[in-house]
Chains A and B, each alone.
Chain A
Amino acid sequence: MLLSPGMENLALLAQIAVKSSTAVLLAAYGEIITERSGVLNLGLEGMLLIGALAGFATGAATGDAATALGAAALAGAAAAFIHAFFAVSLGADQVLSGLSLSLLGAGLTGVLGRDLLGAPGLVLGAVPVPVLAHIPVLGQAVFTQPVLTYLALLLAPLLWWVLAHTRTGLLVRACGENASAAYATGVPIGLVRYACTCFGGALAGLGGAFLSLSYTPGWREGMSAGQGWIAIAMVLFATWRPLRALLGGLLFGALTAAQFSFQTESAQWLPVWVLRAAPYLLTIAVLVLVQSNARLRRYSGPPANLGRFFRRES
């Protein structure tokens, strides 16, 4: 099908927008599940890096996509387990533990990834969905993407359904809203929180693997460039709901794409540094918006027991 140049441009931008949102989306979903169970994990930035390196290294060594993604998810989950141990078992300060995890991720990947800098590796490119990829504009924007982007798009409704309509989701929410009551009815609080934290880590690990295998293939030190922090802000923006996170993530992607198009058109009226700072500034603007809107805040506040250590009475 032939499209006018304008439409072609639009389709390309939309494709970049959807693609750019993937890592932030996966990390944000993971954090939503973690936080809904009552654990605050600020280590996303570190887990993204750990996933990125694990995915890239395994991909380069085995050449197998499934193994690489599995390794990334496993590495992310293992990193999250450290945080879970400190937060759930020791009752340590969760902010501090999460920050340590971010530092650990940056440091450890910097040390271990030294020999992989600039090395060639596995690339997971776009896999067009058979029939749907031929739809004008939408086909290129949504249905011509890497596998992990499809995962990021599909997980939103799936996680919403699990959280809202299944027994598992109820258990998770119970741990986050009122751990004492949940414990009284026999919910193993520690187990649920460990599982949710590790699940969050696995998703962040996959987000990292997307960065090093699909988005900008290759390993670079600190390649997550703050996307983990943006994902945490996205959780607040989404008021702990997966479907709203999808919306927020796509918005973030659109911004990134806009940046590309501005840079190529070299808009002189807006300095480049402002554009590069835009995602961070807009995230702050969104936080302000959510906080200042009483309706938004009231019926979508944080889980009541978020970040609170649960001590079993004997």
Chain B
Amino acid sequence: MMGLRFVLRPRHTSAPVRAAVSLFFALALAGLLGSLVFALAGASPAAAWRAMAEGALGSGYSLGEVLLKTAPLTLTGLAVALCCRLNLWNVGAEGQFVCGALAACFVGLFVSPGLPPFWGLPAALIAGAVGGAAWAFLPGLLKARLGVSEILTTLLLNYVAALFMEHLYYGPWRDPEGMGFPGTVELPQNVWLPMLFPADWGTRAHWGLPLALLLAVGLWLLLERTRWGFRARVLGQSPKAAAYAGFRAARITITALCLSGALAGLAGAGELLGVQHRIQDGLASGFGFAGIIVAFLARLNLLAVPFAAWFLGAILVGADQLQTDLRLPGAVVLALEAALLFGALLGEFLAANRVQIIGRTTKRFEQRHESCDENSGEDNHVA
């Protein structure tokens, strides 16, 4: 009855080709949607993209800023990707990020003065990881023991963490000499993450970046090369097989979520100890949610996560330029992130399926074609 029909055929190609096709379409659609958003915001898309590229890659300082964002994005990306490999959703990296920062701040403000100066930084970083893990423990426990949807629990806890942080820096932890600005006092210098490059280079990139890269490799080894990783992957792909093999699903689930929370918490600690040096408004600026985009741009490949993080970092830094140059609102970043995610979804689809548009004239051909590759697997028709 319809003049046109779309016929989907599964694409049989190697994994690298699939990844390339997926990435190509993801970026193409994201570019298209992004241009649309710019046009809606009243800016010329060409000028906007140019401003973004210049803002992100145009100077040594901006390249450093991109590296600065790469560190937390890598960590939250790893946090999301790890869970997704187990068929778990950690949508709460934002809250775990906040709790990691709070725990690191607690150690920096109240514990580190009693420690030998060298131990302040490691203690604060470990506290950050523990804080994030603790925030992810409850969703993990509820998921493993009762089957409560971890999507909702991790997400709802984001709001609680944000409110708790606000309470602390407006209330008990507030700097009494803050001239009315809500925020804690500056952390002692011995817990700061040292700069990565000499100070006269003018970049703010800190040692959190190599740490994040190291953790990416470490996590890849854990998932791909250890017995725990094998069990976790089996659980993710087939819970039934895991149960049959006698793997303790509950324990693996809780461990994975805690590990994921620890990574996000570390991201928060790094942002506190390396950049902000105090807890104040705007500490958690969406790094947790951005981790979801990083994870899916990397197609859940843990070793690809740092690259995806760098790319998204460049977009975030470039978008800052949009605010100053073209006076676009900050929310433009969220729209760009959504465009990237929708792009990734479409890319994934087009990498897995070939779409043929069939009109009446080609109907004959189609039938002949179909009879040729009868055994090529199922065809799927979409009206």
A interface with B by C-beta (< 8 Å): 42, 82, 86, 89-93, 95-97, 99-101, 103-104, 106-112, 114, 190, 221, 226, 229-230, 232-233, 236, 271-273, 276-277, 280-281, 283-284, 287-288, 291-292, 311-314
Chain B interface residue number, banded: 35 or more
User: A93 contacts which chain B residues (CB < 8 A)?
Assistant: 345, 348
Chain A interface helix/strand/loop/mixed: helix
Q: Does B17 contact A (CB under 8 A)?
A: no
Known: A92-B345, A106-B331. A101 touches B338 (CB 8 A): yes
21 contacts between A and B (CB under 8 A): A86-B346, A92-B349, A96-B341, A99-B91, A103-B337, A104-B338, A106-B334, A110-B332, A111-B40, A111-B329, A114-B41, A226-B159, A233-B156, A271-B167, A273-B163, A277-B163, A280-B156, A283-B156, A284-B157, A288-B148, A314-B379
B interface with A by C-beta (< 8 Å): 37, 40-41, 89, 91, 142, 146-149, 151-153, 155-157, 159-160, 163-164, 166-167, 289, 292, 296, 328-339, 341-342, 344-346, 348-349, 378-383
For the complex, give the distance between the alpha carbons of A116 and B10 in Å: 47
For the complex, give the distance between the alpha carbons of A236 and B164 in Å: 26
User: A233 contacts which chain B residues (CB < 8 A)?
Assistant: 152, 156
For the complex, give the distance between the alpha carbons of A281 and B156 in Å: 8
User: B382 contacts which chain A residues (CB < 8 A)?
Assistant: 89, 190
Find the A residue at minimum CB distance from B334.
A107
Number of A-B residue pairs at CB separation under 8 A? 140
A236 pairs with B331, CB closer than 8 A? no
Known: A107-B37, A111-B40. A232 touches B332 (CB 8 A): no
A288 pairs with B160, CB closer than 8 A? no
Chain B interface helix/strand/loop/mixed: helix
Known: A273-B167, A277-B163. A103 touches B331 (CB 8 A): no
Contact of A42 among B37, B151, B167, B378 (CB under 8 A): B151
Nearest first, the 10 A-B pairs at minimum CB distance are A110-B331, A107-B335, A107-B334, A104-B338, A273-B167, A100-B341, A103-B338, A92-B345, A280-B156, A291-B146
B40 pairs with A112, CB closer than 8 A? yes
A293, chain B: closest CB distance, angstroms: 10
Known: A111-B37, A111-B40. 9 other contacts (CB 8 A): A92-B348, A103-B341, A104-B338, A107-B334, A236-B149, A277-B163, A284-B153, A284-B157, A288-B148
B296 pairs with A312, CB closer than 8 A? no
User: A106 contacts which chain B residues (CB < 8 A)?
Assistant: 331, 334
A287 pairs with B148, CB closer than 8 A? yes
User: B378 contacts which chain A residues (CB < 8 A)?
Assistant: 311, 313-314
Contact of B153 among A90, A110, A287 (CB under 8 A): A287
B149 pairs with A287, CB closer than 8 A? yes
Known: A89-B382, A112-B40, A288-B146. A229 touches B152 (CB 8 A): yes
Find the A residue at minimum CB distance from B160.
A277
User: B296 contacts which chain A residues (CB < 8 A)?
Assistant: 96
User: A292 contacts which chain B residues (CB < 8 A)?
Assistant: 146
B316, chain A: closest CB distance, angstroms: 13
For the complex, give the distance between the alpha carbons of A311 and B380 in Å: 6
Find the A residue at minimum CB distance from B341.
A100
Interface centre among B296, B330, B331 (most CB of A within 10 A): B331
